[in-house]
Amino acid sequence: MNNNIRIIMKIKAYFFICMVMCITESSCSLHNKAVLDSFAVDKQLEYCDAQVKRTLAKVDNDSSRMPRCVNANSADWYMVNIYDWTSGFWPGILWYDYEVTQDENIKKTAIRYTEYLLPLALPDHIGDHDIGFQLFCSFGNAYRQTENEAYKDVLIEGARKLATLYNPKVGTILSWPGMVEKMSWPHNTILDNLMNLEILFWASKNGGKKEWYDIAKNHAQVTMENQFRDDFTSYHVAVYDTITGKLIKGVTNQGYGDETFWARGQAWSIYGYTIAYRETGDKNFLRFAEKITDVYLKRLPEDYIPYWDFDDPNIPDAPKDASSAAIVSSALLEMSQLEDNKEKAKAYKDVAIKMLENLSSDKYQSRDANSSFLLHSTGNYPGGYEIDASINYADHYYLEALVRYKEMQSNTK
C-alpha cells in the first residue's frame, strides 16, 4: 500500500470512529507585577467569549464555511470555504475560547470546525504556504489541548506539503506558486511565510522529518539576509532567480509601494523571528527580532495601533491596521519571556500591554457594531478590500495575546 493511501486511511478511520461515537522570571519585580495586574484581562476574555457566542448564533448552520471578515459598511460576516487562506483562524479562536472557558459546547464546536479542514491535508490538495496558517491555528491548537493523535497526523501531512515548496537553491519556501506565472516571480517568498515555519519546526520534533527543521531555519536565515532594508524595515515579497538562487528584487503585493513600510508584513516578521529564536535558540534571530521590533515601535502613532502602511502619504487620514497590533502584542508577550536582556524584556512586555489596552478600548473593540472582537483592520488596501474592517486573524491574535497575558499573570502569583 502506498504511503499516501495509508495516511488517508488512518485519518479516515479516525474520523469514522468519531462519527460513531512562568515562564516569567521568578524574581519578577513588584513594578512588573503592577503593570501586569493593571490590565483587566478577565473582562476582555469574557467579552471575547460573548462575541464568539453571538457569532455562532449568526453563522453556525452546520456548513463548513468560516467567518472571515465584517466589512465597514456591514454588520454581517463574509463567509469563506475551507480553501480560503484565513480558514484556520476561526477554529483557532474557538480553541482559545475553550482554553479559557472550558465550555464543552465550545469544545464540540471547535472540533467540528477544525475537522472541516481535513481535506487540506489530503494529497490531492495543492496548497501554498498558507497551509501553515490553516492547519496550525486549527489542528495545532486542537492537538495542544486534546493530544489527539489523529490531529498530529494531520499536522505532519501539512508540514510535508509545505516542505515540498522549499527550493534548496534559494534556501526558502515558494510562498505563492500561483504568482510564478501571473506576476513573473520565478521564486517568490513573502514575509507572512515566516509564520508558517512553526508547523515545520513543530512537525520535525513530533514524528516528522528532521530535515523540516533545517528547511525552516534556512528559510528564516535567507529571508533575514534578503528581505529587509538597512534600516530593518521590510519588503513584502522577495523575488529570487531559480537558476542562481540569488535575489532579483524586493517588491510589494499588499503595501502602498515597493519601497514603503507595510505594517502587517513587519508584524508577521516580528512574530516569525520570535518563533525562529524559540525553536532554534540561535541568538542571531533574537537580535534580529529586536531590530525589526524597534523600528516598528519607533514608527507607531500615539495609540500604538499602526496605520496600514507606515508610509501612506494620507496619514493621519489613512486607515489603521488593528490586526498588526494584535499580532505584534502576542509576539512581544512571547519575546519578553525569551529575552536574555532584562531591560528589553520589560520594555517589550509593557508595550505589548499598552497595545492590548488600546485594542480593548471602545475605539477598537467592535462591541455592538458587529460580533467580531475588533474593528479597524486593513486586509488588502491596494486590492480594494477589507479596508477598515473586522478580520478573523486580528481577532485570532488578539485572543491569543489575551490568553498569553493571562498565563503570564497567573505565573506571577
- Smallest distance from ligand GLY to CB 192, Å: 4
379 binds ligand GLY (CB under 6 A): yes
State which of residues 53, 152, 187, 264 lies at the interface with ligand GLY (CB under 6 A). 264
- Looking at beta carbons only, is 319 or 379 nearer to ligand GLY? 379
Shortest Å, Cβ 195 to ligand GLY: 8
Task: Report the DSSP pairing between strands 78-80 and 247-251.
Answer: unpaired
**In the complex with ligand GLY, which residue's Cβ is closer, 213 or 398?**
398
Residue written as grid cell 453571538? 54
Q: Enumerate long-range contacts of 42-48, CB under 8 Å, 24 or more apart.
A: 42/406, 44/356, 44/360, 44/402, 45/100, 45/399, 45/402, 45/403, 45/406, 47/360, 47/365, 47/367, 47/373, 48/93, 48/97, 48/100, 48/373, 48/395, 48/398, 48/399, 48/402
Q: Establish whether 49 is a catalytic residue.
A: no
The C-alpha cell at 296 is 516598528
Cell of 156: 505532519
Nearest-angstrom CA–CA distance, 341 and 336: 9
Q: 130, 309, 312, 321: which one is catalytic?
A: 130
Determine, following the binding rule CB under 6 A, whether residue 319 of this chain makes contact with ligand GLY: no
The reply to whether 309 sits near ligand GLY by the rule CB under 6 A is no
Q: How far is the CB of 97 from ligand GLY (least distance, A)?
A: 23
Residue type, 204: S
Pick 44 or 266: Cβ nearer ligand GLY: 266
Q: Looking at 128, 192, 309, 321, which residue is catalytic? A: 192
Cα 361 to Cα 364: distance, rounded to the nearest angstrom: 6
Q: How many residues bind ligand GLY (CB under 6 A)?
A: 4
The DSSP element (H or E) to which 388 belongs, if any, is none
Q: How far is the CB of 323 from ligand GLY (least distance, A)?
A: 8
- 160 versus 264: smaller Cβ distance to ligand GLY: 264
Strands 172-173 and 166-167, by their bridges, are: antiparallel
Q: How far apart are CA 413 and CA 362, in angstroms?
A: 29
Closer residue to ligand GLY (CB): 306 or 379? 379
Check residue 254 for interaction with ligand GLY (CB under 6 A): yes
- Residue of minimal CB distance from ligand GLY? 192
Q: Is 294 assigned a catalytic role?
A: no
One residue of 49, 192, 290, 321 binding ligand GLY per CB under 6 A: 192
Query: What interhelical angle do 3-20 and 149-163 show, nearest 10?
Result: 150
Smallest separation, CB 379 to ligand GLY (Å): 6
Cβ proximity to ligand GLY, 192 vs 395, nearer residue = 192
Catalytic residue ranges: 130, 192
Residue ranges that bind ligand GLY, judged by CB under 6 A: 192, 254, 264, 379
